[in-house]
Structure 1
Amino acid sequence: MRRAIRFSLPVSVLLLVGVGAAPALADPPPAPSSGTARTELAALAVASPHSMDGYSRDAFDTWSTQADGCTTRQDVLARDGDGVQEGSDGCQPTSGSWYSAYDGTTVTVVAQATIDHMVPLAEAWRSGADDWSADQRKAFGNDLKDPQLLIASESSNSSKSDSGPSDWKPANHDFWCTYAEDYTHVKSIWKLTTTDDEKSALTSMLDTCTN
């Protein structure tokens, strides 16, 4: 069962609640179908993980400033939250609620609505990002075009850490299908490699899809 987790407020609602409401931002592309994900997964190159030498989250320049003047994190909070209100800077949410699909919980404290990278930065590094340019890594760390950034509760984000699907799976089994589709799609788009264990784990989760 797929559960929608991305929200944007319609213009009519924004007019009613006033300028303090977060602007509606474009949703990221939906996850591909399970059939498309299986095709993408089959096409991923299988390779041994690269060395973590030189890895740093700073290499991905996460939460950089977007064209609207807000940070990537602020834009994701506005995009994926429900009833989001912003402060005087027009960027930082002050209230709202955020659904964490990993564990099926709802977060109502802004500071506890963490943003997770679907494909962890460390996993990207060991599957090809170590050879990227600084601009490529920045684009990956702040990717709003693909299903790479999503809301996660603090506990689920901490539980996942830098793990891929061969070592970690969402506590919310209803999200396994979407998780596998999104994870596979991001790896496919960014031409990252996979391992036999990861491929097996993703295939198993794709088997839970109903479409």
Structure 2
Amino acid sequence: MPKVYARRLTVAAGSALALVCTVALTGQTAEAAPPSPPSAATARTYLSEIKEQPEGSSDGYSRDKFPHWITQEGACNTREVVLKRDGTDVTTDSNCAAVSGTWISPYDDAKWTKASDLDIDHVVPLSEAWKSGASQWTTAHRQEFANDLTHSQLLAVTDNVNQAKGDKDPAKWLPPKASYHCEYARMWVWVKHVYELTADSAEKAALKKILDGC
């Protein structure tokens, strides 16, 4: 694995450890939030640096090639860490599964009190990543991407909204909450830029339009 990616993986694991330790010590949800994406101005610069290229083939794609919800600390996997981070008053059982709490989905402002009503969305979907360059990555690098707690790649959101999104890019799908589009575009661009993924022309045009209006 290239050194830069190894460093990011170490940071992500360290962040997850710190979060889980805080929860364990206080018995309350840690004061945390998804990583803040760069400003619109910075995102516009990042967008200009993302290579424009037609979307690749999905041949060979499988979610299994992006090992996800790996163990972060003790019994807690990535999904459970994100649920704790994105909720309030979250309590867990001995297996680190969330048994109570409150979550507000940023995509639609829906409020949930059961973890089963939430999906952990990959902001840049795994299939989209595969068609944008991840097919050439090592499995270890795809695992890092699928469990990234350092960048704005993972969010707890309403399950059926996430299912409606599927693997669509911003030219084909945006969150139902219009006021979140700027944040979403900034998040998407940050992830693609960090991981040196490509974007097709319609995707770049849609992102530019959103960011120009931020």
Q: Same fold (TM over 0.5)?
A: yes
Q: Quote how far apart the aligned CAs of 1:149 are.
A: 0.1
Contact 1:176/1:208, CA 8 A, preserved across alignment: no
Letter paired with 2:92: E
Q: Does 1:199 align with 2:196?
A: no
Please, what is the CA RMSD of the aligned residues? Answer: 2.0
Q: Quote how far apart the aligned CAs of 1:203 are.
A: 1.1
Q: Quote how far apart the aligned CAs of 1:197 are.
A: 0.2
| SS of equivalent residue, structure 1 residue 66 | strand
Q: TM-score of the superposition, structure 1-length normalised? A: 0.86
- 1:163 is aligned to 168
Letter paired with 1:191: E
- 1:73 is aligned to 79
Distance 1:94 1:178 in 2: 29
Q: TM-score of the superposition, structure 2-length normalised? A: 0.85
Gaps of 5+ in 1: 1-7
| SS of equivalent residue, structure 1 residue 179 | helix
Distance 1:191 1:68 in 2: 32
Contact 1:55/1:122, CA 8 A, preserved across alignment: yes
Distance 1:69 1:26 in 2: 20
Letter paired with 2:81: D
- 1:129 is aligned to 134
Q: Does 1:56 align with 2:67?
A: no
> When you count helix as a share of all residues, which structure comes out higher?
2
Q: Between Structure 1 and Structure 2, how many residues are aligned?
A: 194
Letter paired with 1:200: A
**Residue identity (%):** 42
Q: Quote how far apart the aligned CAs of 1:27 are.
A: 4.1
The one of 27, 47, 51 equivalent to 2:53 is: 47
The one of 115, 131, 134 equivalent to 1:110 is: 115
Gaps of 5+ in 2: 1-18
- 2:148 is aligned to 143
